[in-house]
Amino acid sequence: MFYRLFGWWVRWQACKMAATVMSGRGDGEEPLSPLVWSVTVFFEKYICDGADGTADDFGPKDAIELKSVESK
């Protein structure tokens, strides 16, 4: 329901975030459109589902073991 009412706003904000990310990128050989689209989809997913929902789709598939670091 949220996306039906605010889908245009979510996509607009995701595009703005993707443009911000891409603005610091230098000129390269690879085409930018697939990268911009991927970043936009990532931010759109993040806005709709939060960090936990985004991690399910974009995060690591295997559990990561966290180890503590001791200071010397």
**Residues 13-70: tens digit of each pLDDT:** 999 989 888 887 767 767 788 888 888 988 888 888 887 777 777 777 776 677 777 7
Q: Fill in the amino acid letter for 56.
A: D
Residue spans of the domains in the chain: they are 2-17+31-58
Confidence of residue 2 (pLDDT cuts 50, 70, 90): low
Whole-angstrom distance, CA of residue 32 vs CA of residue 35:
5
Rounded to two decimals, the pTM is: 0.64
- Please report the pLDDT score of residue 47 as a whole number: 85
CB proximity list for 46: less than 8 A, separation 6 or greater: 54
* Euclidean distance between the first and the last CA atom of the chain, given in angstroms as a whole number: 53
